[in-house]
Amino acid sequence: MRFHILALTLLLSFSAPSVYAEDERTAGSKPEAVKSDYSETYRQLDLFGDVFERVREQYVDEKTDEELIENAIQGMLSGLDPHSSYLDEDDFSDMRVQTRGEFGGLGIEVTMENGVVKVVSPIDDTPAARAGMQAGDLVVEIDNIPVMGLSLSDAVDKMRGKVGTKIKLLVVREGEDKPIDVEIVRDVIKIQSVRHRIEGNVGYIRITQFNQHVEDGLEEAITEIKKELGNKLVGFVLDLRNNPGGLLDQSIAAADMFLDKGEIVSTRGRHESDTRRDNASSGDLAEGLPIVVLINSGSASASEIVAGALQDHKRAILLGTKSFGKGSVQTVMPLPGHGAMKLTTARYYTPSGRSIQALGIDPDIFVEQAKIESYKFRRLREEDLERALDKKEKDQTSEEEEEEASEEPQDYQLLRAVDLLNGLSLYKDSLTAMKESIDAQQAQKDQDAEKKEKQE
């Protein structure tokens, strides 16, 4: 009975959920069902009590009751899915700091897959990104310690450490014949969630992560691009590649900036009463200009909400590769004096009713990232021939500069997106010119007809 009280106390001690990651849900109660399950619940609690007591008394090393209970809770939550977990007080504090856009670590978003840590995406301008970590990398060892057998929380704890200290990861990467050793120096991660620049007559906006600064940053970026380019602006590229997601309200706000009406996303939980729909408010900051959204396998969660909403409303063309497919909602519920629990409580659906979970978002135009290299073969010219007339000395310096410039890496997917927007602009201009010409011809005909009628 002691264990019945202990377990039931744990079950009843949760405070009201406080959402830091994505969404909030309240489960409906079913007293009749609960009563019918009492006998089975007590039987299972007896099993838990027996195991707890044996581990407590007979395990080779002495463990505190707190350690055993935390391990039991972690096991219960992590056994549900890759995203549910128990957060101790330090983990809970780190998570809240991360949503504010500044935290310590390597700079990678990770999940668990087949017993190893899988990189969802590296975050721009962080130690992990600079070390060459890629979306889809599998971390199999951390400082020579195998990851297999560790929980995601344990693996993340091992990757954390003091700023300036080194960590060595053994990484399995698709396309590589053998595992890769990656050494990373830990640092304070400061995320600039929104960046922008001009690409010709196109406004380029990159969202690295959906933290609490995205709404303000995106609005500022759109405003500055419109101010700088004015009437020359032909469209926007919204780059969501390797964006691991973040706050639900920020993703809704981002999609809303490009939509004038309609549903953005729906979240559906266990019970019908848990369904929630978020709709766009009037006003499109892009003023109807075409948008190309870049996505890849590192675009997850909140990124997929934005991409799916703009795609379903035909407001943007999606270009790149298939997204990650994390379409579940995690609610963070603080536990007084014990950190918090992160529990999957619902699934995301795009406006057309498509589930994102494990399916991802397919781009409208499939374009894999490619490395562009110049071919340095040079054809023989008249000036290269011996004793050629009017032959001049070659400028070796300019040739070297030309070769170096040609070796600068280029973003192939971004180039295709910019080309697409420029093409759409030319097509639109051609249609406008054609319409104006037809209207002018019709006006002239009307004038001629009117003049003829007067003469008659």
Asked whether residue 374 is assigned to any structural domain, the reply reads no
Residues 264 and 276 in one domain: yes
172 and 232 in a common domain: no
Residue 15, domain member (yes or no): yes
| Amino acid occupying residue 184 | I
**Could you tell me which of 302, 331, 329 has the C-alpha nearest to residue 95?**
331
The per-residue pLDDT for 48 is: 94
pLDDT at 181: 96
Is there a single domain that holds both residue 228 and residue 122? no
51 and 121 belong to one structural domain: no
For residue 340, what is the domain's CATH number? 3.90.226.10
Query: Quick one: 122 and 198 in the same domain?
Result: no
Residue 46 located in a structural domain: yes
The whole domain housing 16 covers 2-26+40-85
Task: Among 345, 366, 387, identify where a domain stops.
Answer: 366
Question: In this structure, is residue 382 part of a structural domain?
Answer: no
Distance CA 95, CA 342 (A): 11
Distances (CA, A) of 268 to 25, 253, 348, 418: 9, 19, 7, 36
* Catalytic residue annotation: 301, 312, 326
In a domain, 19, yes or no: yes
Domain match, 111 and 201 both: no
- Ranges of the chain with pLDDT below 50: 1-30, 405-406
Q: What sign does the dihedral 49-51-52-57 (CA atoms) show?
A: positive
Q: In CATH, what number is assigned to the domain containing residue 136?
A: 2.30.42.10
The pLDDT assigned to 444 comes to: 82
pLDDT at position 373: 63
Residues forming beta bridges with residue 182, ordered by sequence position: 169
One domain, residues 199 and 315: yes
Does residue 448 fall inside a structural domain?
A: no
Residue at which a domain ends, from 341, 366, 391 = 366
Residue 102's pLDDT is 59
Shared domain for 154 and 217, answered yes or no, is: no
pLDDT, residue 375, reads: 58
Q: CA-to-CA distance for 126 and 191, rounded, in angstroms?
A: 8
Q: Could you read off the pLDDT of 89-114 as tens digits, one per residue? A: 888 887 776 666 656 689 888 888 88
Whether residues 184 and 198 fall in one domain: no
- 234 and 255 share a domain? yes
Answer whether residue 179 is part of any domain. yes
Which residue, among 407, 308, 287, 345, has the nearest Cα to 28 in the 3D structure? 345
* Beta carbons within 8 Å of 304's beta carbon, 6+ residues apart: 245, 295, 323, 324, 325, 326, 327, 348, 356, 360, 361
For the chain, what is the domain count?
A: 3
- Give the pLDDT score at 446: 80
Domain boundary among 190, 222, 254: 190
| CA–CA distance, 328 with 312 (Å, rounded to integer) | 19
The residues near 240 (Cβ < 8 Å, ≥ 6 apart) are: 207, 293, 294, 295, 299, 303, 306, 307
One domain, residues 200 and 343: yes
- Examine the domain organization and report whether 75 and 162 are in the same domain: no
- Checking DSSP bridges between strand 138-142 and strand 291-295, what pairing results, if any? unpaired
Residue 420 lies in a domain: no
